[in-house]
Amino acid sequence: MNTDREGRTASKGWIRVGNGEERRETIDERRQARPGLRYGELTQKVIGIFYQVYRELGHGFLESVYEAALDIALREAGLQAERQIPVAV
């Protein structure tokens, strides 16, 4: 279990605001906090699909299994996807 510096248990969705106070952050607040993202809606959709795949498969598989499953899920959602694209560095 994750804890912060003060020994409190870290919980998903909790944020620390400027004055040290902690409160629960909603998904809508997260989206509104980043209004200038160029592909924000697409990004949220891809992340959601990733979590659906992960929840269905669980942990313990090779990366290639998750890669193939994510590719299938993205295509089923109507998104174009390509795997292992070379990137010049």
- The pLDDT tens digits for 26-38 are 666 666 656 677 8
The Cα–Cα gap between 63 and 69 comes to: 10
CB 74 within 8 A of CB 81: yes
Checking if the pLDDT of 13 tops 60, the result is no
Q: What is the pLDDT of residue 41?
A: 86
Q: Whose structure tokens read 């990137």?
A: 87
Tokens of 23: 């409160």
Where do the structural domains in the chain lie, given as residue ranges? 1-33, 37-89
Tokens of 44: 């949220």
* 38-85 per-position pLDDT tens digit: 888 898 899 999 999 999 999 999 999 999 999 999 999 999 999 999
Q: What is the pLDDT of residue 32?
A: 62
Q: What is the pLDDT of residue 46?
A: 93
